[in-house]
Amino acid sequence: MDYLQQPQAIEDKSFVIIGDIIRDMRPDYRFASPLHEAIIKRVIHTTADFDWLDILWFSPEALARLTAALRSGCTLYTDTTMALSGINKTLLAQYGGEVKCYISDPRVVRKAKEEGITRSMAAVDLALGEAGEKVFVFGNAPTALFRLLERNAQVSGVVGVPVGFVGAAESKEALTQSSLPAIAALGRKGGSNVAAAIINAFLYEMRRGQ
């Protein structure tokens, strides 16, 4: 059986197919910028779902602020180890950045139990107590996103794409009403894979522009 085996060739062909499908399905669709296009197409590549053309929301300053934060070596805080695993940490480190997930940290486990809150909420509290420039990357836990908004913290950016049926859509709607530089998934869709794909799209575009 003849089939592509080289990873980069597979990815390149996938993006060509994605572009062809968009032109066929939505001939009048226009991306707001090359970076918008790169992010949305990478999420489609990750999910095989073209709804992302319409449901990925960007605040006015999101792309500029998140790019600046990543270039300056910020710390990313994820709500799941899956999101952490999916982010290209080698490329992130080239800009002096790192990614952390505190969901299983003993301090978080203890605080969540003592206060009767989710570990995701406790992890946000722990992250906010640390010094340095921060970007939060949420793909699974609406309670984490709600907690961040409750704290009214001025962070460098938020990728808010929790998936689910309880609080997911509401938490992301609340994010769109905040003043934070943010990218959000409207409605129920999202996921840790989507969150990681968004960050990776930034990193790959930054590398391409060097």
Q: Is the CB of residue 51 less than 8 Å from the CB of residue 189?
A: yes
Question: The sheet that has 134-138: what strands, in order across it?
Answer: 56-58, 182-185, 157-160, 134-138, 75-78, 98-101
| Mean pLDDT computed over 59-65 | 97
The verdict on residue 143 lying in a domain is yes
The verdict on residue 74 lying in a domain is yes
The verdict on residue 95 lying in a domain is yes
User: What gap in Å lies between CA 138 and CA 142, rounded to an integer?
Assistant: 8
pLDDT in tens, 25-55: 999 999 999 999 999 999 999 999 999 999 9
Q: What percent of the chain is modeled with pLDDT above 70? A: 97
For the chain, what is the domain count?
A: 1
Assign 12 a pLDDT band (cuts: 50, 70, 90). confident
**163 Cβ contact partners less than 8 Å away, ≥ 6 residues apart:** 139, 140, 185, 188, 189, 190, 191, 194
Kindly list the catalytic residues: 45
- CATH of residue 127: 3.40.50.10230
Asked if pLDDT for residue 3 goes beyond 60, the answer is no
The verdict on residue 36 lying in a domain is no
pTM summary value: 0.95
Structural domain of residue 128, as residue ranges?
Answer: 51-208
The verdict on residue 138 lying in a domain is yes
Q: Which residues pair with 138 in a beta bridge?
A: 160
